[in-house]
Amino acid sequence: MEYFPEDVLRDYGDEPTNLMLDLWHKECLKQFKNDIEVIMVDRRHNPQLRDIPGTVNSASPCVFDNKMHLALWLESVYPLEPVLVTHELGHWILALRGFKRKSGNSEAWTRWKKQTKLPAHDTAAVSRWKAQAALHDCR
């Protein structure tokens, strides 16, 4: 699956996008003691989102190459629309700060939050992250 790494988001994003990415990393380090890179993916690569009619933008945790990422599943990845990136990041930053999500699977969010507090080099944690990613079909 093709995805765009965070440096592409920074290169083609605007100043508010870069500030939100910085804020995301600050919150990750504060909450998890671990940094989680943001990637951008066409939502049609996600089996849970590809067949939904209309415009859909979302985000979810995923594991690629044994590394945790926050995947931004966007309707269109080209051209980059910075407001969509900041919007989706905003949901997750608020969630990290303790604001409850009104939709989605809060049990999955709680489980993911607990898992990501484990050290990245912990092979058991990586296995659990892979299991969580399998729920989102991110590979």
Please give the structure tokens belonging to residue 40. Answer: 């951008």
Q: Return the HEC string of the chain.
A: CCCECHHHHHHHCCHHHHHHHHHHHHHHHHHHCCCCEEEEEEHHHCCCCCCCCCCCCEEEEEEECCEEEEEEEECCCCCCCHHHHHHHHHHHHHHHCCCCCCCCCHHHHHHHHHHCCCCCCCHHHHHHHHHHHHHCCCC
Q: Is the pLDDT of residue 113 over 70?
A: no
Provide the number of structural domains found in the chain: 1
Task: Answer whether residue 26 is part of any domain.
Answer: yes
The pLDDT assigned to 116 comes to 59
Boundaries of domain holding 119: 6-135
The mean pLDDT of the chain is 80
Distances (CA, A) of 45 to 11, 73, 99, 136: 23, 8, 29, 11
Task: Answer whether residue 87 is part of any domain.
Answer: yes
Q: Is the pLDDT of residue 83 over 80?
A: yes
The pLDDT assigned to 18 comes to 97
**What is the tens place of the pLDDT at every residue in 14-71?**
999 999 999 999 999 998 888 999 999 999 888 888 888 888 899 999 887 788 899 9
Whole-model pTM: value is: 0.73
The pLDDT assigned to 97 comes to 86
Q: Angle at the Cα of 84 (from 60 to 24), degrees rounded to 5?
A: 55
Task: Answer whether residue 1 is part of any domain.
Answer: no
